[in-house]
Amino acid sequence: MSKPLVLFDLDGTLVDHDAAELSAITGWIGAAGFPADVDGVPSEQVWRQVSEAAFPDYFAGRLTFEEQRRVRVRTFLPMMGVRVEEMADAELDRHFLEYRSRYEASWQPFPDAVDCLLRLRSTHRLAVLTNGDQSQQDDKMRRTGLAALVETTIASSSLGMSKPMAGAFHAALTRLGADPTTTTYVGDRLDTDARAACAAGLAGVWLNRAADSGEARDVRVIATLDDLP
C-alpha cells in the first residue's frame, strides 16, 4: 500500500511570507525615501492593502502575474508622491524590482517547517500545493532548502485553477496519483485551505499560527506544525 499524502500550503505555512513582505517593503520605503504613512496608515500597511486588492484578479485569471505586479506599483507609487502617468511597463517593473529583490532575499522557512517535513518523510508522501506563480514558488522552495524535502511543488498557475476551488485540489492529486481520502491538506487560511480541502474530500487542517479566535469546529486546528504528526 502506498503511503498517505500530506499536501502543504506554502506562504504562511512553510515559509514566513508576512515577515519577508514586511522586511522587503520596509527596506524599499527606507531606500526610496517614501513617507512613513498615508493619512496615518503606515506605508507598509498601505502596500499590503494594495497587494491584497490585486491578488483576487490574478487568482481569477483576470490579470497575469506580471500585470498584477504593475497594478500594485501603479496604485502604490502615487500614494508615495511618485507620478506614474507617464511610466512605461519597464519602468514600473524596475520599481517593483526594488521590492521583489528584497522580498526574495528575505524568504525563510518557519522554524517548525523543516522539522515537521523531516519527521513525516519516512511515513508519508509530502508535496506542496500553493496559489501563485509556478516559477516563483519553485524558486522559493529551492532558496529555502524546502524543495529537497518534498516530492514536488504544484502552483495554481500551472493548474489554471486556484484554491479554494475543489478542482485545484483534484488536479494536484491527479498529478500526484493520490486519492483525496488518504490525503491531508495543511494551510494557514481557514476557508481557502482547510475548509476548501474538506469540501474537496481531503482531510483539511487549519494551521492557526496567529491563534485567531473563530469558529472552526468543522476542521482540525493546530497552532504549530509541531502538532501535526
9 binds Mg ion (CB under 5 A): yes
What's the min distance (Å) between Cβ of 131 and Mg ion?
8
Closest CB to Mg ion among residues 130, 183: 130
Tell me whether the omega of the peptide bond preceding residue 164 falls within 30 degrees of 0, making it cis: yes
Q: How far is the CB of 30 from Mg ion (least distance, A)?
A: 27
Is residue 11 involved in binding Mg ion (CB under 5 A)? yes
Question: Shortest approach of Mg ion to residue 39 CB, angstroms?
Answer: 29
Q: How far is the CB of 193 from Mg ion (least distance, A)?
A: 6
Residues 12-41 that bind Mg ion (CB under 5 A): 12
The backbone torsions φ and ψ at residue 212, rounded to the nearest 5 degrees and listed phi first, read -65, 135
Which residue bears the cell 502552483?
A: 155
> Of the ranges 2-10, 60-68, 88-96, 147-155, which one interacts with Mg ion (CB under 5 A)?
2-10
Residue 165's CB is within 10 A of a number of other CB atoms, namely 17
At residue 180, the 3 state secondary structure works out as helix
Buried b (16+ CB within 10 A) or exposed e, 200-229: bebbbbbbbbeeeeeebeebbbeeebeebe
Which range in 3-11, 103-111, 147-155, 156-164 contacts Mg ion by CB under 5 A?
Answer: 3-11
All three cell numbers of 173: 492529486
- At closest approach, how far in Å is the CB of 113 from Mg ion? 12
* 44 belongs to the binding site for Mg ion (CB under 5 A): no
Assign residue 189 a region: left if phi > 0, alpha if psi is -120 to 50, beta otherwise?
beta
Distance CA 41, CA 46 (A): 7
Binding to Mg ion in span 159-188, by CB under 5 A: 188
Q: Which three cell numbers stand for residue 46?
A: 498601505
Shortest Å distance, C-beta 88 to Mg ion: 33
Helix, strand or coil for residue 31?
A: helix
Q: Phi and psi for 218 in degrees, rounded to 5?
A: -85, -10
Segment contacting Mg ion by CB under 5 A, of 9-17, 28-36, 73-81, 146-154: 9-17
- Do 58 and 68 contact (CB within 8 A), yes or no? yes
Q: Which is nearer to Mg ion, 95 or 189 (CB)?
A: 189
* Residue count, binding to Mg ion (CB under 5 A): 4
Is 201 a binding residue for Mg ion by CB under 5 A? The answer is: no
Question: Please, which residue, 77 or 116, has the CB nearer to Mg ion?
Answer: 116
Site residues for Mg ion per CB under 5 A? 9, 11-12, 188
